[in-house]
Amino acid sequence: MGLHVIDHPLVAHYLTRLRDRDTAPDEFREASDKIITLLLYEATRDLRTRAFRVNTPLEETEGRAVTDSVVAVPILRAGLGLMAPVLELLPEVTVGYIGLERDERTAIASRYYVKLPPDIRGKVAMILDPMLATGGTAIKAVEILKEYGPQSVRLVCVVAAPEGIQALQQAHPNVDIFAAARDRQLNAAKYIMPGLGDYGDRLFGT
């Protein structure tokens, strides 16, 4: 359990493409897909498998198949942009959507849209939200998911701020966080520094 910051040259390479303010949306989306694929490699490392016999063209050998079911939960809006590599690597995944908005005065996140698959109980829930800033959104999303009895909940993000990591770990100590970087701090506007700006705006060119 805990924070997993993925230390890998390709992750560092694509993160730098994402950070660069001159990276255009098409290149940003491409780097985003690649970095999420790399993060998924680590975020799925503990999935359980069952052994079975398989025939190669030459002989019978042992094969393995993933037995854990994963439900991916992108947080609207930017989390949607992380879904392509998830569907590519885990074609049998089921997908739920959570939309949260933050009250600017109280900083409390409340749900405006929740659409989850009916059978989350016993599944591995994987929240996708690229920027773990204050942690308010992630904390609320975990709270919502836990109502449905998943086997475990994990968060895949690209950049995490120390403030968000601490808040999420305090609220939900049993949630693993997978990130490409742990950045320095939040600024007064709650942007992550040095960060990469607004992930949704960079992805969608808004």
Active-site residue set: 102, 106, 198, 201
Cβ proximity to ligand URA: between 123 and 202 the closer is 202
Contacts of 100 (CB under 8 A, 6+ apart): 75, 76, 109, 110, 111, 112, 137, 140, 141
As a whole number of angstroms, the distance between CA 196 and CA 191 comes to 9
How many C-beta atoms lie closer than 10 Å to residue 119's C-beta?
Answer: 11
**Minimum distance of ligand URA from residue 127's CB (angstroms):** 15
HSE, CB side, 13 Å, CA atoms: give it for residue 69: 11
Q: How far is the CB of 161 from ligand URA (least distance, A)?
A: 8
**Residue count, binding to ligand URA (CB under 6 A):** 9
Amino acid identity, position 205: G
Q: What are phi and psi of 76, to 5 degrees?
A: -65, 140
Q: In angstroms, give the least distance from the CB of 201 to ligand URA.
A: 7
Cis status, amide bond into 130, omega within 30 of 0: no
Bridge partners (DSSP) of residue 186 are 192
Instruction: Give me the least distance between CB of 37 and ligand URA, in Å please.
Output: 20
CA 72 to the chain's CA centroid? 8
Describe the chain by its helix, strand, coil percentages, rounded to 5: 35, 30, 35
Pick the closer one to ligand URA by CB: 28 or 178. Answer: 28
192 belongs to the binding site for ligand URA (CB under 6 A): yes
Token pair recorded at residue 146: 């836990």
For ligand URA, the closer CB: 168 or 192? 192
Residue in 35, 131, 139, 175 binding ligand URA, rule: CB under 6 A? 131
Of 75, 126, 133, 203, the one binding ligand URA by CB under 6 A: 133
Binds ligand URA (CB under 6 A): choice among 68, 143, 176, 198: 198
70 forms part of the interface with ligand URA (CB under 6 A) = no
Stretch that binds ligand URA, among 39-47, 99-107, 146-154, 195-203 (CB under 6 A): 195-203
Comparing CA positions, the residue from 62, 132, 122, 72 lying closest to residue 97 is 72
Nearest approach, Cβ of residue 195 and ligand URA (Å): 4
How far apart (Å, rounded) are the C-alpha atoms in residues 17 and 89? Answer: 22
Nearer to ligand URA, 143 or 198 (CB): 198
Q: Which residues bind ligand URA (CB under 6 A)?
A: 78, 131, 133, 191-192, 195, 198-200
